[in-house]
Chains A and B, each alone.
Chain A
Amino acid sequence: MTDQVLPEKVETTDVDSAIAYLKDKFPSAVSDDTRDGYSGVIVDKNKLVDVARAIRDELGYNYLSSATAVDYHTLGEPDSDMEMVYHAYPITGGGALVFKAQTPRDNPEIPSLVNVWPGADFQEREAYDLMGIRFPGHPNLKRILMWEGFLGHPLRKDWKEAYYEEDHKPFSSRWPSGNVWRAEEKNAYGKNVRYPDDFDLSRLNDVSEESLYEGLGLGVDVQAIEGTMHTDRLVVNMGPHHPSTHGVFRMVITLDGETIDTLEPVMGYLHRNHEKIGERNTYLHNMPFTDRLDYLSSMGNNLGYALAVEQLMALGPRWNPPSYRAEVIRVLMAELTRIVNHLWSIGFLLNDLGAFFTPMLYANNEREKILDFFEGVAGSRLMCNYVRFGGVFQDIPERIHSVQNMVNDRVRDFDSMKFLTELVSERLPRFLDEYEYYLSENEIIKARCINVGVLPPDEAVGYSAAGPLLRGSGIPYDVRRADPYSIYPELDFDIPVGERGDIYDRYTVRIREMRESLRILRQLLPRLEATKGESVAGTNAHTPRVPVGESYGRVENPKGELGFYVVSAGDAKGTQNPWRYHVRAPSFINLTPLGRMSHKQKVADVVTVLGSIDIVLGETDR
């Protein structure tokens, strides 16, 4: 589309001159981050809001991709050993301006950036919840993933979980004298929960849940509100056990009649402290764990994590970048994943609209074919665990074939390249044509989707929305183009965008993205043929040496920008574990504008708005 609406155009400057500008404008507050392997600037926290405004308005870095906290306990200076790290990008494309604010660990406090970037809302709440940093100026600073009455801040380095065994894997109890025991035998259930001293357990049974409903305006005298009809304000809890929330997700909705007044997402029911697990793991251990984030697009998660660690490994000696064939296979898998994910999300969007399971199953029929391919190549349909640092697990096999054994009584056998060619050049395009014929002009879909859940473009950028949600609002921002990785620069594809920013636009963006993915896949097939026989193996070390530094690897996952912020403390002889491992989860951050999009909509539309964001709770709650 040609008439794309962009927020007010600001001339963006490249990162170096942007930093020079900041240092010039705020000489006492901004200084270079001079630590080994680090980039960007350190900003005095008292000036943070002013500097952030300048970064957004004067320098044009108006998209806050990620905001996260790091605890440098025992590693940093005592008066500044906690740190917030922000990654801002120009929405027109280009590299990141990284800025950090430091605060002492015993009294951590950093001013909130919610007024500059509303997208910082959930991310700051997460940092408060898991790290205990307070954000003065935040309108609703309370726990987001953990529950009220939880003791401590679990991502802090000195916090230990139930069933804690050792700081780092591999655990010494496993070998050479690994006499097996179960964790729960040594720490029985019932003794693994701790509460704060002043916490009253009966608060958990508080049916009114006053603390949760605070700030929702429930005490308002409705009779006094001006208007033609006086309706009572009603609180409705949708979820956590509601089929349309795509998992265990809860929305607290206040209704004025049947119109939604406020909506507050409540999450964390599937929280497992993925990031803490990641910091106990070695770098390689984390690879299969990333599968479990957005379990519908595990290949994309693998790729994002591999990119982040590879950035760090590239700083060290003896680093071999992935071969060309490995890159081709990575992109092949990433694009197939995009199709898998969009088929699923459109199917479920239709489910949410009431077209119960027929469109879903038609889409699944095709999805199965791609999963068959994943299974044949990676060994698993969903939890692929396929990408390795500097390569991939194994090359695509000549034939995807099964052999008769005692479990499987049937045999199947086909040529993998022929299978793939037929899939991307005939089967999937034919299916997409039919699917669009089937759905796109349907009057019910149009009536339910057009002009519902509108997110204007400038707000989409402000809320740090990503993926089809952002592009549906007319912003042509795609990491594959804006900050290219792998072999995307040499591939020919378009970035589909919407016009109105409503649910229907998100639907069409997804359909058209699948067509673009097919276009990319068709370009990859000759490249696969040409590079046949090239090695695709990654580094063969199971505990690769990762130099000191920080890195932020991001990929355009089907659901939006997936980023991994990894800090390596790089102990040459000791443990080889990431010091900090943070996931910028698109499913999580895309929920920030949910309340805004649902305002003044009907209850039934909330389900569709949520469906159009396309969340996976494994990634939202982490």
Chain B
Amino acid sequence: MYGKGIMRGLSVTLKHFFQTYVDDLRYGWRKYSPKEDNFEMRQGMAAQGAFTVQYPDEKLAVPERFRFVPFLVVNEDDHPEAPGKDWCTSCGICAKVCPPQCIWIVRSEDPNTGRPIPEPEAFFIDIDICMNCGFCAEFCPFDAIKMDHDYELASYDRTTSHIHDKDHLSKPTSYWNRIAPTRAAEEAEARGGWEHIDVIKERKKAEKAAAKAAKK
């Protein structure tokens, strides 16, 4: 029969049309409530109908590994020994692996001896050039640069606000632990503690020396 295929197609469209409302009836009232399981249901395997996320009022949750323009990890402001200290040692690996070369680092130098200090004097990321590949975070040996989850970086003037400096980039360790708890825990386990790897090494050295001294 001519037209049968079209009728079949229309029946599928109609089915989808009604399914959207079935889902709405099932989850509908919860769509407007802040209850947390709403998105899981509507985005998961059980969801059937079409579903619109009312951005920017509503936002989809991004998974832990989601990567956007990097940030620098620094100590907490209330850190007992070194509040606000950079984890970055300005070794320059992130600037080397950066494919579009958007990372600029000025290494600190001791004013008297001229020898490098393991701390960046300045750190810039041109977010217009950054391609969000995540290599800097992947290859950083000090867990000092991490990919952020904040994807709303648009601004009205790119020439004044799109080069992020160290102040803008720095975020405390607790922020990283919050947005990526699994990854942060894995990294802490690999380092042997929640502190910066150099601090842990120093402490181990001191403990060893103390143990040696106690033996004598």
Residues on A lying within 8 angstroms of B by beta carbon are 169-171, 173-180, 182, 281, 284-289, 358, 361-362, 365, 369, 372, 375-380, 383, 385, 393-394, 397-398, 400-403, 405-414, 419, 422-423, 426-427, 434, 437-446, 542-543
Q: Taking CB as reference atom, which chain B residue is nearest A166?
A: B101
Can you show 27 pairs from A to B with CB atoms below 8 A apart? A170-B95, A174-B104, A176-B90, A176-B116, A177-B107, A178-B103, A180-B126, A182-B159, A362-B16, A369-B45, A372-B43, A375-B62, A376-B63, A393-B138, A397-B65, A402-B64, A406-B150, A407-B62, A408-B59, A408-B61, A409-B58, A412-B61, A423-B45, A441-B5, A442-B6, A542-B96, A542-B135
List residues of chain A with CB within 8 A of the CB of B44: 412, 414
Of A369, A422, A438, A446, most buried by chain B (CB within 10 Å of CB) is: A438
Cα-based distance from A402 to B63 in the complex (angstroms): 4
| Shortest Cβ distance from residue A374 to the other chain B in the assembled complex, whole angstroms | 10
- The answer, among B45, B63, B96, B116, for a CB contact under 8 Å with A170, is B96
| Shortest Cβ distance from residue A579 to the other chain B in the assembled complex, whole angstroms | 18
A397 and B105 contact, CB distance less than 8 A: no
List residues of chain B with CB within 8 A of the CB of A427: 45
Cα-based distance from A289 to B101 in the complex (angstroms): 13
Q: Taking CB as reference atom, which chain A residue is nearest B159?
A: A182
Cα-based distance from A426 to B46 in the complex (angstroms): 11
List residues of chain A with CB within 8 A of the CB of B34: 409
- The answer, among A284, A377, A393, A426, for a CB contact under 8 Å with B45, is A426
Q: Taking CB as reference atom, which chain B residue is nearest A288?
A: B133
Cα-based distance from A440 to B8 in the complex (angstroms): 10
List residues of chain A with CB within 8 A of the CB of B62: 375, 402, 407-408
A180 and B104 contact, CB distance less than 8 A: yes
List residues of chain B with CB within 8 A of the CB of A171: 101
Q: Taking CB as reference atom, which chain B residue is nearest A405?
A: B179
Q: Is B84 positioned at the interface, with any CB of A under 8 Å from its CB?
A: no
Q: Taking CB as reference atom, which chain A residue is nearest B104?
A: A178
| Shortest Cβ distance from residue A543 to the other chain B in the assembled complex, whole angstroms | 7
Q: Is B111 positioned at the interface, with any CB of A under 8 Å from its CB?
A: no
Known contacts being A358-B13, A383-B133, is A414 close to B101, with CB within 8 Å? Answer: no
List residues of chain B with CB within 8 A of the CB of A414: 40, 44
Q: Taking CB as reference atom, which chain A residue is nearest B66?
A: A379
A289 and B99 contact, CB distance less than 8 A: yes
Interface residues of B in 143-186 (CB under 8 A from A): 147, 149-152, 159, 163, 178-182
Of A169, A378, A403, A542, most buried by chain B (CB within 10 Å of CB) is: A403
B105 and A174 contact, CB distance less than 8 A: yes
A411 and B39 contact, CB distance less than 8 A: yes
| Shortest Cβ distance from residue A308 to the other chain B in the assembled complex, whole angstroms | 17
A288 and B182 contact, CB distance less than 8 A: no
Q: Taking CB as reference atom, which chain B residue is nearest A421?
A: B45
Known contacts being A170-B95, A397-B182, A442-B9, is A284 close to B135, with CB within 8 Å? Answer: yes
- Interface contacts (Cβ under 8 Å), in number, total 184
Q: Is B50 positioned at the interface, with any CB of A under 8 Å from its CB?
A: yes
Q: Taking CB as reference atom, which chain B residue is nearest A284?
A: B97
- The answer, among B12, B96, B106, B152, for a CB contact under 8 Å with A179, is B106
Cα-based distance from A337 to B194 in the complex (angstroms): 38
A-contact bits for B1-12, CB 8 A (1 contact / 0 none): 011111011001
Q: Is B202 positioned at the interface, with any CB of A under 8 Å from its CB?
A: no
Cα-based distance from A410 to B55 in the complex (angstroms): 12
List residues of chain B with CB within 8 A of the CB of A180: 104, 124, 126, 163
- The answer, among B50, B99, B105, B126, for a CB contact under 8 Å with A176, is B105
A285 and B97 contact, CB distance less than 8 A: yes
Q: Is B200 positioned at the interface, with any CB of A under 8 Å from its CB?
A: no
Cα-based distance from A609 to B209 in the complex (angstroms): 76
A422 and B13 contact, CB distance less than 8 A: no
Cα-based distance from A292 to B12 in the complex (angstroms): 35
A409 and B132 contact, CB distance less than 8 A: no
Known contacts being A169-B101, A180-B126, is A410 close to B8, with CB within 8 Å? Answer: no
Cα-based distance from A398 to B63 in the complex (angstroms): 12
List residues of chain A with CB within 8 A of the CB of B93: 542
A403 and B50 contact, CB distance less than 8 A: no
Known contacts being A394-B65, A397-B65, A419-B45, is A174 close to B40, with CB within 8 Å? Answer: no
A422 and B45 contact, CB distance less than 8 A: yes
List residues of chain A with CB within 8 A of the CB of B101: 169-171, 174
In the complex, the 8 A-B pairs of residues with the closest C-beta atoms, listed nearest first? A178-B104, A402-B61, A288-B133, A175-B92, A176-B107, A441-B5, A285-B99, A180-B124
For the complex with contacts A174-B101, A414-B44, A423-B45, 10 further pairs of A-B residues with Cβ separation under 8 Å are A179-B106, A289-B99, A362-B16, A376-B65, A379-B66, A380-B66, A393-B134, A408-B60, A410-B61, A542-B135
| Shortest Cβ distance from residue B145 to the other chain A in the assembled complex, whole angstroms | 13
Cα-based distance from A173 to B124 in the complex (angstroms): 13
| Shortest Cβ distance from residue B107 to the other chain A in the assembled complex, whole angstroms | 4
Q: Taking CB as reference atom, which chain B residue is nearest A440?
A: B5
A407 and B133 contact, CB distance less than 8 A: no
Q: Is B22 positioned at the interface, with any CB of A under 8 Å from its CB?
A: no
B5 and A443 contact, CB distance less than 8 A: yes
List residues of chain B with CB within 8 A of the CB of A177: 106-107
List residues of chain A with CB within 8 A of the CB of B150: 406-407
Of A287, A423, A440, A542, most buried by chain B (CB within 10 Å of CB) is: A542
